[in-house]
Amino acid sequence: MEPEPNDEQKLEEIMTLQENSAESSPMHGFALIDFDYPIQCLKNPLKPQYNGGIVVNSEFNDGLNGWSLAGGAKIGNNVSSDGNKFIVASERKGSYHGFSQTFQLDKDKFYVISGWVQVNHGDDTSIAVIFKTQSGFQHAAWVNAKSGCWSMFKGGLANASGPAQLYFETNNTSIDIWADSISVQPFSQEEWESHQNQSIEKVRKSKVAIQVVDSQGKPLPNATISVEQRRADFSFGVTINKNILNNNAYQNWFFSRFKVTVFEDEMKWYSTEATQGNVNYSTADAMVELCKSKGVAVRGHNILWDDPNHQPTWVPALSPQQLSVAADKRVESVVAKYKGEIFHWDVINENLHFNFFESKLGPNASTHFFRLASQFDNTTLFLNDFFTIEKTYETSSPANYLKKIKQLRKEGYGGPLGIGLQGHFSLPIPPYIRSALDMLASAKLPIWITELDVTNTTNQVIFLDQIIKEVVSHPAVEGVLIWSAWKRYGCYRMCLTDKNFNNLPTGDVVDKTRVTLSHEGLVGITNAEGYFETSLFHGDYKAIVAHPSVPKSFQYNFTVTPNGGSDHVKSLSYKFTTA
């Protein structure tokens, strides 16, 4: 067994990653977007991303030039024993008191914010990175800082213009805040979209060259190749509910489009055990069977819910001992019943925001339920919470999400674990979404966008399209589920169709994404050398080949695999013969 790398080795590896990223930069001499986020707390901070961007004196090698005092505090330029220079705010009189720098922001640009912080004592001090703008205070990032090593923060800002004052805030005024390698990098929306497209091509797709030859091995020009996707590596689906069971129009609309889904309410505890001891899975069973008959995979949502307002009506009155027995029975009942039929389970929903079970059963309740569920099915068990990528809230910040993962592991859950991000958006901040995903990706766990919707505003369609493209372009995301189960009286927050299952504009956005991801309707013609070249999303495909000289068409199955992330890997090549 090889020894665990030390901090210096980790530092060298991360710096090599950043150097390689910079060397492959398409614009401005630096990587257009840097996805990296080192999860380790390091002895020394790394160099600032994007060379600091528009920050003056980002590494504090020029004293306090560019930086000013915010509130009542003492600020100074310190030097570590190995010569690293950084800024320190001490004798702070208020939560935001310390150091600051002012920037002129452009409302049409996106800003990626990053840097490194440390505190002089304590462990896990929550620090907010905030901009004071003309429209108010905007949180750009959260970080849990430690003493004795440097922690990276990463965040984003958008929809802000004019002067903006950057500062750092923590409620504990007895703590000194240290900072270094601070970066504020603006991107035009054109640059941002260009990088999304580059990332999709690089991490989601591979170039494919298909050659058609005759029985003697000679190239066949003008052969027609129809490409059908049989299975996608990247999952894209929509929520359904019990209304689909007796509604042919609903079934036709949904099953003609999607191969993955999640149920809105039908598997939740309050739906399957409305009265204690009377467990009824008939509706969920019917929906599972219907999906199975159509080749649609079902995600499990949810086993338990930590919100006290979403328990079965009989549960809140239980004593702790009674609750423990009832909850354990619930876990075993639903997980064992659907073993092998559900590809994920949200185990204890929203337990960054709420603590119903922890308040009754103790702080280790979450870990207990994860461990219990894993005994009945070895599928991936997920955390699932809101406002981790939608808003810059401390409670469910990426930093606190990572902290929850560490807690589960420390308390003994070692099984398959996934990161579920609900994605209930109002006003999206694309650079914050991306930075949050970067931070979460450092855990090296599957990430799914589990309940994506956008509130009904004048820009709903634009925002939905923007968010979908953002999450699809991020290499760490493995699937997206749109939260839009149909009801006659209206959906939860966002409908995709009208009452007659005609697409609304939001449905058109979802259809456009689905068609793009699946290459629906893709037909190509071979050139003089018998080749058809294209770029396909990773997955399994069927090619139907026809040519005027051949009496009937031929079918071939093939798989498009990742090329390892290299821009220089040759196309995947396939040779189909009409013999």
- Report mean pLDDT in 10-residue bins for the chain, 579 residues: 39 36 37 80 96 98 97 96 96 97 97 98 94 95 97 96 97 97 97 95 94 92 96 98 98 98 98 98 98 98 98 98 98 98 98 98 98 98 98 96 97 98 97 98 98 96 98 98 94 96 98 98 97 96 94 93 63 80
Which one is catalytic: 169, 273, 451, 470?
451
Count of other CB atoms within 10 angstroms of residue 174: 12
One domain for residues 214 and 175: no
* DSSP secondary structure of 250-288: HHHHHHTT-SEEEBSSTTSHHHH-SBTTB---HHHHHHH
User: Are residue 45 and residue 152 in the same domain, yes or no?
Assistant: yes
Q: Do 146 and 213 sit in the same domain of this protein?
A: no
Inside any domain, residue 46: yes
103 in any annotated domain: yes
- CA Rg, the chain, in Å? 26
Same domain, 125 and 155: yes
Residues 6+ apart with CB under 8 A from 502: none
* The pLDDT value given to residue 575: 86
pLDDT at 2: 34
99 located within any domain: yes
Asked if 188 and 110 sit in the same domain, the reply is yes
Are residues 220 and 95 part of one domain? Answer: no
Residue 554 placed within a domain: yes
Contact yes or no for 560/543 (Cβ under 8 A)? no
3-state secondary structure 214-229: CCCCCECCCCEEEEEE
Active site residue 4: no
Q: Round to whole Å and give the CA distance between 298 and 262.
A: 5
Residue 500: closest CA among 249, 247, 206: 249
Q: Are residues 44 and 158 in the same domain?
A: yes
Domain count, the chain: 2
Judgement on whether residues 109 and 215 belong to the same structural domain of the protein: no
So what's the pLDDT on residue 67? 98
Q: Are residues 115 and 213 in the same domain?
A: no
Query: For residues 163 and 134, is the Cβ–Cβ distance under 8 A?
Result: yes
**331 located within any domain:** no
Residues 54 and 181 in one domain: yes
Residue 454 lies in a domain: no
C-alpha distances (whole Å) from 248 to each of 1, 252, 269, 476, 501 are 58, 6, 28, 36, 10
Closest C-alpha to 210, from 564, 569, 544: 544
Statement to judge: residues 37 and 179 lie in one domain: yes
Concerning whether 451 is annotated as a catalytic residue, the answer is yes
Considering the domain architecture, whether residues 152 and 225 belong to the same structural domain is answered as no
Full residue range of the structural domain in which residue 50 is found = 30-193
- Chain centre to alpha carbon of residue 173: 34
| CATH code, 116 | 2.60.120.260
Whether 3 maps to a domain, the answer reads no
- The answer to whether residue 388 sits within a structural domain is no
Q: Treating both helix axes as pointing N-terminal to C-terminal, what angle do 505-518 and 460-473 enclose, rounded to 10 degrees? A: 20
Question: Distance between CA 135 and CA 105 in Å, rounded?
Answer: 12
Catalytic pick among 350, 411, 470, 529: 350
